[in-house]
A and B are shown apart, each in its own frame.
Chain A
Amino acid sequence: MTLSLKTRAERFVATLRHCQNLGLTVESAEGNTLLMRLPYSEKIVGNPVDGTVHGGSLTTLMDTACGTAVFSVLPGFELCPTLDLRMDYMKAAEPNRDLFAEATVIRIASSVVFTRCEVYQGEERDLVAKCSATFMRIGEEMTPPDFRARIEQGDDVAGDAV
């Protein structure tokens, strides 16, 4: 049974409790690029005066988008811890609008995976933030069997395999 990249990505994100709290969803995953959505909500606001979301929620969005792209693109079921993140905040996100992160895996080396990500709002792709993130490869054999089973089978086994 081969899982689509999107199914792998969705099941991976489903295991991340904090991401469930934020309501992160995988919009698409094709080739080496993944699109993730962070819905606007009052609980992630950092500036209560104007309702702007806190940069920390964008950090979680970008770390998760890049990390999920890495997990879904690697051939095995490798869990890769983040080595570093470098983020630039171009402008404050507009309140009451969802945020989208487009993460791309740039290079998969033997020990390290390089990624980049852009966060934008709306169809006009208004750029809010961008990031460069690097992940360590610790090997597929480090993935616990029960975690692997959760990804292979999903919480709901019916249906979504390709």
Chain B
Amino acid sequence: MSFEKNLQQAQSSGEFQPLVEAIPYAQLIGLKFQRFGQDVLFQLPKNDDNIGNPILPAIHGGVIGGFMELSASLHLMMSMDTGTLPKMIDFSLDYLRAGRHQDTFAECQVWRQGSRVANVAITAWQTERSSPIATARAHFLLAR
């Protein structure tokens, strides 16, 4: 089955697990998610393979970015019904604290979804939601 078919099926059934399993990069970093109605909590479980700085040790900043990018695009796919993969136009990421070698969480907020472009804010945290380790903003092209 094609990925687009997978996506359409996920959007009609609300079952997104097979879709995430079909994305190799999601498997590489180990992304998980839980849906609570319209809300989605993304999780990046502690994983030795995601470490950058070995001294702290800390998660590689690029992995935190990749996790947040992937969370944003999945969040859009879960909230839209267009059946197409959103394409990232740009991504702006601020690192606030070191990402320790432990579970990381992310949640997304779609601030605006036009006919062609969506603006999504992403917040990532570890121990406390009110003390994020990184915040980001992404624009996606919602192409046909």
Residues of A with Cβ closer than 8 Å to B?
A: 15-19, 21, 42-49, 53-57, 59-64, 67, 79, 81-89, 92, 144, 146-147
Assess the B62–A60 pair: CB atoms within 8 A: yes
B60 contacts partner chain A, Cβ-Cβ < 8 Å: yes
Contact residue among B22, B65, B90 (Cβ-Cβ distance under 8 Å from A60):
B65
Interface residues on B, range: 35 or more
* Nearest CB in chain A: distance from B139 CB, A: 10
Assess the A87–B91 pair: CB atoms within 8 A: yes
Assess the A86–B51 pair: CB atoms within 8 A: no
Assess the B48–A55 pair: CB atoms within 8 A: no
Contact residue among B4, B25, B49, B90 (Cβ-Cβ distance under 8 Å from A46):
B25
Residues of B with Cβ closer than 8 Å to A?
A: 2-4, 22-25, 27-29, 48-55, 60-63, 65-67, 69-70, 85, 87-95, 98
Q: Closest residue to A92 on the B side, CB-wise?
A: B87
Assess the B66–A17 pair: CB atoms within 8 A: no
Assess the B88–A55 pair: CB atoms within 8 A: yes
* Nearest CB in chain A: distance from B28 CB, A: 5
Query: Mind listing 25 A-B residue pairs with CB under 8 Å?
Result: A15-B53, A18-B50, A43-B25, A43-B27, A43-B28, A45-B25, A46-B23, A47-B23, A48-B3, A49-B2, A49-B85, A54-B23, A54-B25, A54-B70, A56-B65, A60-B62, A61-B62, A64-B52, A67-B61, A82-B95, A85-B65, A86-B90, A86-B92, A87-B92, A88-B89
Q: Which residues of B contact A88 (CB under 8 A)?
A: 89-90
Besides A54-B24, A147-B55, 8 more A-B contacts (Cβ < 8 Å) are A18-B52, A42-B24, A45-B24, A53-B25, A57-B66, A59-B62, A88-B89, A146-B55
